[in-house]
Amino acid sequence: MPGMIIRDHPPTERRRFRMRKPLFLRIVDTVTANDIYFPQRRDATGRQGLSSLQKCTATIRVLAYGTSADAHDDQEYLRKPNDNDLARLLHVGEERGFPGMIGSIDCMHWEWKNCPNAWVGQYAGRSDKPTIILEDVASYDLWIWHTFFGTPGLCNDINILQRSPVFDDVLSGRAQNVSYVVNGKEYKRTYYLTDSIYPSWAAFVKSITCPQLQKHKLFTQHQEAVRKDVERASGILQARFAFL
C-alpha cells in the first residue's frame, strides 16, 4: 500500500494493535490457513510475493485505523514544520545572521536512465538526457521538510515553483504566525534563501549580483555560504539513491 512501511516481522504489535506478539502470530496462522489470499505465492515473473506476515499486518492496520497505521506515526521528514520546529529554525536562522529564515530552497536534476522512449522529449533536460527534477527545502542540519518530485526535465525553477505546493498554506491563509525584527522593523512572514533564478518575492532572499560595496560583498558571501545547506542535502540524496 502506498505510504506504508511493511516489515517481515511485527515489532510493535502492542503499540499499534493493542495485542501481544503471540496473539498476533496466532491470527496470522489462522487467517493463512483459512483464506487463499494470505499464503505467500509467486507472481507472474516467478518472484516471491508478500509474506503472510506482511499481508496480515497491512490488513489489520486498515481494519484498525481505516488507513495505514504509519499515517498516524510521528514523521520526521517530508512534513510541514510544527510550532517547535518553526521556533528551532527561526532561532538557528537568527544565530546565523538571517532572522526569519526557515531554510533554503532549490531544484536539482536526476538523470532518468530508463525513461520510456515516448517520454524522452518532454523529460530531456539541459544535458539532452532525460531528467526528473526535485524541488526541496532543507535546513542547516539537512532536515528536508518539503519535496516536489517528478517534474519533467524541460522545466526550470520558476515554472516548477508555479506548480509546487510549498506556498499553499500561505495562499490559503493557514500559514503559522511568526514575529521577528530586522533593522528595527517587525515582520510576520518567514522566507527562504535562494539563488538568482527565483523571482523577486518577499519570501525569497537572494544574493546580490555583482556586489560593489563591501557590505554587499559580505552579505553575498554569507548568503551563499548558508544556502549551501540545500545543495549539500541534494548531493547526499543523489549519492544515497544513485539507482534512480
Which pLDDT belongs to residue 104?
A: 97
- pTM, entire model: 0.67
Q: pLDDT tens digits, residue range 123-175?
A: 887 778 899 899 999 999 999 999 998 888 888 889 899 999 999 888 888 88
pLDDT tens digit string along 42-62? 876 677 888 888 888 777 766
Burial (CB < 10 A; 0-12, 13-18, 19+), residue 107, is: buried
| pLDDT score for 150 | 86
Instruction: Indicate if the pLDDT at residue 9 is higher than 60.
Output: no
Average pLDDT over residues 70-80: 66
Tell me how many degrees the CA angle 243-150-136 measures, rounded to the nearest 5.
Answer: 90
Domain range summary for the chain, segments of one domain joined by +: 13-72, 83-240
State how far the Cα of 116 lies from the Cα of 219, in Å rounded to an integer: 45
